[in-house]
């Protein structure tokens, strides 16, 4: 089966999407998301971020489990990441210098 001609699939001779292509028009919501993200960034400054973080820390100190998780995840990283590195180190220690797996 032959590929379709470039003028029928919306691509130019280099294989890129050509102007006026109806297939690859992009995300129709991207402009709206950009506007909302820009409004959020304009409304929230360093002082507001500090206030939000302080509120999370206060809630974590009071025993709010979700706040504790959020604070620890954002400051120390997720436990699975640290666990993964530890398991990789253990696996590497099982491999002999010659590249054959060691059995213990």
Place of tokens 């130019």: 12
Give the Cα separation of 3 and 18 in Å (integer). Answer: 17
CA dist 32 → 23, 25, 38, 81, 104 (Å)? 20, 15, 10, 34, 58
- 10-residue stretch averages of pLDDT, the chain, 104 residues long: 56 76 76 95 95 96 95 83 78 70 51
- Looking at every residue in the chain, the average pLDDT score rounds to 81
What token pair was written down for 58?
A: 């206060």
pLDDT at res. 58 = 97
CA dist 19 → 16, 96, 98 (Å)? 10, 57, 56
pLDDT at res. 45 = 94
pLDDT at res. 82 = 65
């Amino acid at each position: 089966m032959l590929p379709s001609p470039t003028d029928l699939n919306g691509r130019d001779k280099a294989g890129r999407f050509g102007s006026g292509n109806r297939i690859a028009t992009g995300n129709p919501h991207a402009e709206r998301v950009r506007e909302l993200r820009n409004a959020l960034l304009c409304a929230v400054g360093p002082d507001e971020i500090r206030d939000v973080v302080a509120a999370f820390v206060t809630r974590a100190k009071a025993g709010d489990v979700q706040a504790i998780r959020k604070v620890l995840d954002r400051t120390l990283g997720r436990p699975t990441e640290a666990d993964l590195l530890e398991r990789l180190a253990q696996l590497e220690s099982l491999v002999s210098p010659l590249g054959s797996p060691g059995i213990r």
